[in-house]
Amino acid sequence: MPREAEPSLNERNFVSRALEEGLRVDGRKFDQCRPVSLKFGDEFGVAEVQFGKTKVLVKVSAEVTVPYTDRPFEGVFSIASELSPMVAPSFEVNRPTETEVLLSRMLEKTIRRSGALDTESLCLVAGKKCWSIRADVHVLSLDGNLTDAACLAVVAALRHFRKPDSSIEGEILTVYTPAEREPVPLSWLHSPFCITFSYFGEEGDTAVLLDTTWLEEQLRTSSCTFSLNRHGEICQVSKLGGVSIDAPVFVQCAQVALAKSKEYTELVDRKLAEDAKSRDKGGLMAELTAENDR
Amino acid sequence: MLFSYSSLLQGRNPSLKSIPRTQNPTRLTHRAGAMSSGPIYVLPGDEIDASLIPSHPKKPLRLGPGLRHAPPNDIIPTVAGQFVVERQKNAIRVETTSGRYIPRVGELVIGTVHHSGAESYFVTLSDFTSSALLPHLSFESATRKTRPMLANGALVYARVSLAHKHMDPELECVSPSTGKSDGLGPLTDGMLFPISLGMSRRLMLSKSAQDGKVVVLDELASAGLQFETATGRNGRFWVDSENIKTISLVGRAVTETDEKGLNVDQQKKLVRSLIKELS
Amino acid sequence: MPLDTSTYSLALLRVDGRRWNELRRLHAQIRIQAAADGSSYLEMGNTKVMCVLTGPSEAQQQQQGQRRGQATAGGGKNASINVSIVVAGFASVDHKKRGRNDKRTQELELTIAKTFASVVHTHLFPNSSISLALHVLSADGSLLAALLNAATLALIDAGIPMSDYIAACTAGSTSSYAAADDSADPLLDLNTQEEQELPFITVATLGETDRVAVLNCESRVQVSRLEGMLAVAVDGCKEVKQLLDKAIKAKGAKMIREGAAEKSDAMAMDLDE
């Protein structure tokens, strides 16, 4: 199958010359992100994140299943990230590419393994019934910085999600519809965010960029992704190969990543509050009241 | 690599399902037969009003891209976009801003040399399409010994000389009749910016300011910037200048005009703000 | 279950009796297989890995540049580096079978392939491929580090030009992520038991420099701990590099003594060492 057009020599030369002069092709500063947009859907658990032209949609769903036999007291939590041919014809269904493997590993390490979601709270009847929470990541268009966008979308969607309320009386498990009982949010412990640094130049010291476009991503010599929450806990760091970088640079990058993570936390908190406000109809009493507005 | 699923139709309500067919503005325009009242948009499968189709006494009717002839005498649009009539040429076509570039004979394109074969260069015109062929000898005054050597990844400005649905397109950098290059050939230095197909068409109009409503380049030039540009119909825009900042500025001005669909006044405003940033 | 950190703070000795900055016994061998272009065997404590290298040879026409269960980096005009990792069923205690499409193994393969693609002078071997087959015989912590070291040895054995060694090791921190105690010590070269209990990072450096080629952390740790762990790990890598160097020089000296290779005048090596 024909491949994607690779960046031409002119583009390569221009990008590196511009970076040496302290310029990026789209006129941003080195540590400046493209405008980030975060939108929630009408349903609970749908979030769409946009970094410039990179667009990721995440949908969270829940169902009751049987827990794994080796973990009877824990619910099931999975993140499914598949890149479809919608992103680019080079992505085939059921044939994970390098990008896809790394993305799903990154989300797994950042959100699942770091214990952001309390899986024990998903248990309904030990060893018999539990909630299975599944986050589906759909990449709608790709223009670089996929990991950061996907991670932000997954965290936002999970925090926005409400699972149906349930109760146990004796042996009987009841799951209530939203009309009967207000759905409940997940037991969320902390919000980690991915921040990717891209290094340019033969020695990796020409420039350190945040939120790279696809063109820049094709030309970088190395990259490192930090996952942190706002409390300053690293959940994951991965610099997988590429040109070697001076060790002290990572310590500086970690500080920048921490500041960025706090920024993202604030963004998600603000958007969640806005969303909650727009949904708030004055609680159940307002709905039940028989009075009409005159 | 940029694949956006939105903005298929610019300047038109994209939520087509919710509009009852009778209220379709396209239809109303058709029925009124007011050809001069603004642009006419068509959808795939739309009927085209007979009064819109030009009837030249001698020349045959020419169908451009986006239209299909369904025998015996129906003409059906195959893409959504603006319906354009050229009365002098007795030609009609549908213009879209999006989609993949399909080469047509005589169009100027900017390609990237992928590799060199025995007889010709393999040139990439767009993502995920098979390469176009640029024979080694189709450069100005090129012989077997004095042909330009293009490295892999070099940019070349060329004209499509052969385009067929079932064959790889062929390119040339020389006019076959005069043997002159007419400005075609390798593009050195500078920077390439991706633009929409509609934008590249607007930029390539002979009077782009009047017909295409693109004034950014003129405005930038009158602000004292010196630069050189080349536009390829395959949605590529090349800028070169002594100054790196100028290249970046021109590229950003054009891509922003394209992406945000700026009108003439907004373009002027954009240029003013960009110039301020430069100084 | 938690590692008894109280005993550590008392005697400053770890579960296996090491001090904080002590490496486990590192035993390295090269040219262990006559049939391969390059091969190596490496032990870091109880972690035992083997690497068999084929190439540089003509690149196979692989579909889409990648075969199943292999990671490729580089490629195009330069030589591509293919890495495949096989974890033996008996390598760890739990006998868990890891499939070929296991994403964790794939990530390891990709990491190794990408690391060496930037160190090996791939431009000298256009349109060819270098295949590294890594076998994990016994896994007891610091797996990625051991695999990287073994791959370096095999590449040197095959005589493939590289800009420097890639030397790798792990470093951990005795603080759990919740505790913000300042008395926490960094630890060097963790075994499985320590890896399960403590946050740790894997670092690979370019030779004896401070330049980091791989930095990997999969556990929760305070950001302030990173600097200390990184410093200890980089020092550890320098030590590892010297040990690898020694193993290679010993083998070289042995080959000259046996007459398998000629001693060149440019060699400043003392054979009686």
Question: What pLDDT, on the 0 to 100 scale, is given for residue C100?
Answer: 65
Mark which of B73, B95, B117 sits at the end of a domain: B95
The mean pLDDT of B139-158, rounded to a whole number, is 89
* Number of domains forming the structure of chain B: 3
In a domain, A249, yes or no: yes
Residue among C111, C218, C223 whose CB faces A113 most closely: C218
Same domain for B175 and B199: no
Question: What pLDDT, on the 0 to 100 scale, is given for residue B21?
Answer: 35
Which of A10, A21, A24, A92 best tests the B interface by mutation, with the highest count of B CBs <10 A? A10
Query: Is the pLDDT at A260 greater than 70, yes or no?
Result: yes
The mean pLDDT of A265-273, rounded to a whole number, is 95
The predicted-structure confidence for B1-17, as pLDDT tens digits, reads as follows: 333 333 333 333 333 33
Q: What is the pTM of this model?
A: 0.86
Query: Is the pLDDT at B34 greater than 50, yes or no?
Result: no
Q: Are C71 and C82 in contact (CB under 8 A)?
A: yes
Looking at the complex, does the CB of residue A32 fall below 8 Å from at least one CB of chain B?
A: no
Nearest CA in chain A to B241: A14
Which of A106, A220, A240, A256 best tests the C interface by mutation, with the highest count of C CBs <10 A? A240
Question: Amino acid identity, residue B179?
Answer: G
Residue among A102, A108, A222 whose CB faces C110 most closely: A102
Mark which of B61, B95, B129 sits at the end of a domain: B95
Q: Which CATH superfamily is domain C14-258 in?
A: GHMP Kinase, N-terminal domain (3.30.230.70)
User: Domain residue spans in chain C?
Assistant: 14-258
Q: Are residues B191 and A142, on separate chains, in Cβ contact within 8 Å?
A: no
What is the rounded CA–CA span in Å between residue A59 and residue A80?
A: 10
Which of B3, B243, B245 best tests the A interface by mutation, with the highest count of A CBs <10 A? B3
Q: Are B107 and B118 in contact (CB under 8 A)?
A: no
Q: Are residues C215 and A250, on separate chains, in Cβ contact within 8 Å?
A: yes
Strands, E assignment, chain C? 26-30, 38-44, 47-58, 71-74, 80-87, 128-138, 166-173, 186-188, 200-206, 211-217, 221-222
Q: Are residues B128 and A3, on separate chains, in Cβ contact within 8 Å?
A: yes
CATH classification at residue B170: 2.40.50.140
Q: Provide the residue count of chain B.
A: 279
Question: What pLDDT, on the 0 to 100 scale, is given for residue B255?
Answer: 93
Question: What pLDDT, on the 0 to 100 scale, is given for residue A286?
Answer: 63
What is the rounded CA–CA span in Å between residue C223 and residue A245?
A: 19
Query: Is the pLDDT at A246 greater than 80, yes or no?
Result: yes
Q: How far is A36 from chain B (nearest CA, A)?
A: 17
A67-76, A136-145, A272-281, C175-184, range with the lowest pLDDT: C175-184
Closest CA to A160 of A23, A277, A43: A43
Contacts with B187 from chain A: Cβ below 8 Å: 10
* Number of domains forming the structure of chain A: 1
Same domain for B172 and B222: no
Question: What pLDDT, on the 0 to 100 scale, is given for residue B140?
Answer: 87
Query: Is the pLDDT at B95 greater than 90, yes or no?
Result: no
Radius of gyration of chain B (CA): 21
- Share the mean pLDDT of chain A: 90
pLDDT band at A118 (very low <50, low <70, confident <90, very high): very high
Query: Is the pLDDT at B41 greater than 50, yes or no?
Result: yes
What is the rounded CA–CA span in Å between residue A82 and residue C114?
A: 23
Contacts with C103 from chain A: Cβ below 8 Å: 101, 104-105, 108
Closest CA to B183 of B174, B171, B192, B170: B174
Range of the domain at B158: 108-188
Q: Is the peptide bond before C56 cis (omega within 30 degrees of 0)?
A: yes
Question: What pLDDT, on the 0 to 100 scale, is given for residue B86?
Answer: 83
The mean pLDDT of B90-116, rounded to a whole number, is 87
Contacts with A228 from chain C: Cβ below 8 Å: 223
Query: Is the pLDDT at B122 greater than 70, yes or no?
Result: yes
What is the rounded CA–CA span in Å between residue B247 and residue B21?
A: 47
Tens-digit pLDDT string for chain C (273 aa): 345 555 566 667 788 888 888 899 999 999 998 889 999 999 999 999 999 999 888 876 554 444 445 677 766 678 889 999 999 888 888 767 766 678 889 999 999 999 999 999 999 998 889 999 999 999 998 999 999 999 999 999 999 999 999 999 999 988 654 555 555 678 899 988 888 888 899 999 999 999 999 999 998 888 888 898 999 999 999 999 999 999 999 999 998 888 877 777 666 655 554
Question: What pLDDT, on the 0 to 100 scale, is given for residue B252?
Answer: 92
Q: Are residues C118 and A244, on separate chains, in Cβ contact within 8 Å?
A: yes
Which has more pLDDT, A236 or B141? A236
Contacts with C116 from chain A: Cβ below 8 Å: 241
Residue among A102, A115, A251 whose CB faces C226 most closely: A251
CB-based burial label for B53 (10 Å; 0-12, 13-18, 19+): middle
Question: What pLDDT, on the 0 to 100 scale, is given for residue C4?
Answer: 52
Q: Are C73 and C114 in contact (CB under 8 A)?
A: yes
Question: What pLDDT, on the 0 to 100 scale, is given for residue B18?
Answer: 34
Residue with tokens 């990997």: C216
Q: Are residues B248 and A18, on separate chains, in Cβ contact within 8 Å?
A: yes
Please give the C-alpha separations between residue A207 and each of A24, A220, A241, A259, in angstroms, as whole numbers.
Answer: 10, 10, 18, 19
Q: How far is A72 from chain C (nearest CA, A)?
A: 19
Question: What pLDDT, on the 0 to 100 scale, is given for residue B102?
Answer: 86
Nearest CA in chain B to A216: B1
Q: Are residues B3 and A5, on separate chains, in Cβ contact within 8 Å?
A: no
Looking at the complex, does the CB of residue A179 fall below 8 Å from at least one CB of chain C?
A: no
- Share the mean pLDDT of chain B: 82
Range of the domain at A150: 18-276
Question: What pLDDT, on the 0 to 100 scale, is given for residue A284?
Answer: 59
In a domain, A230, yes or no: yes
Same domain for B91 and B136: no
CATH classification at residue B234: 3.30.1370.10
What is the rounded CA–CA span in Å between residue A233 and residue B115?
A: 48
Torsion on CA atoms B44, B50, B54, B58, rounded to nearest 10: 120
Question: What pLDDT, on the 0 to 100 scale, is given for residue A188?
Answer: 93
What is the rounded CA–CA span in Å between residue A123 and residue A65?
A: 10
CATH classification at residue A182: 3.30.230.70
In a domain, B1, yes or no: no
Contacts with A88 from chain B: Cβ below 8 Å: 1, 3, 127-128
A102-116, B74-88, C174-188, range with the lowest pLDDT: C174-188
Query: Is the pLDDT at B104 greater than 70, yes or no?
Result: yes
DSSP per residue, C92-130: STT-PPP-TT-HHHHHHHHHHHHHHHTTB-GGGSTTEEE
Closest CA to C15 of C140, C168, C151, C180: C140
Q: Which of residues 233-272 of A touch B (CB under 8 A)?
A: none
Closest CA to B126 of A214, A90, A6: A6
Q: How far is B127 from chain A (nearest CA, A)?
A: 5
Q: Are residues A233 and C221, on separate chains, in Cβ contact within 8 Å?
A: yes
Q: Are C157 and C30 in contact (CB under 8 A)?
A: yes
Looking at the complex, does the CB of residue B270 fall below 8 Å from at least one CB of chain A?
A: no
Looking at the complex, does the CB of residue A223 fall below 8 Å from at least one CB of chain C?
A: no
The mean pLDDT of A215-238, rounded to a whole number, is 92
Same domain for B85 and B125: no
Q: CB count, 10 Å around CB of A97? A: 15
Tally of CA atoms within 13 A in the half-sphere of A270 that contains its CB: 8
What is the rounded CA–CA span in Å between residue A135 and residue A60?
A: 4
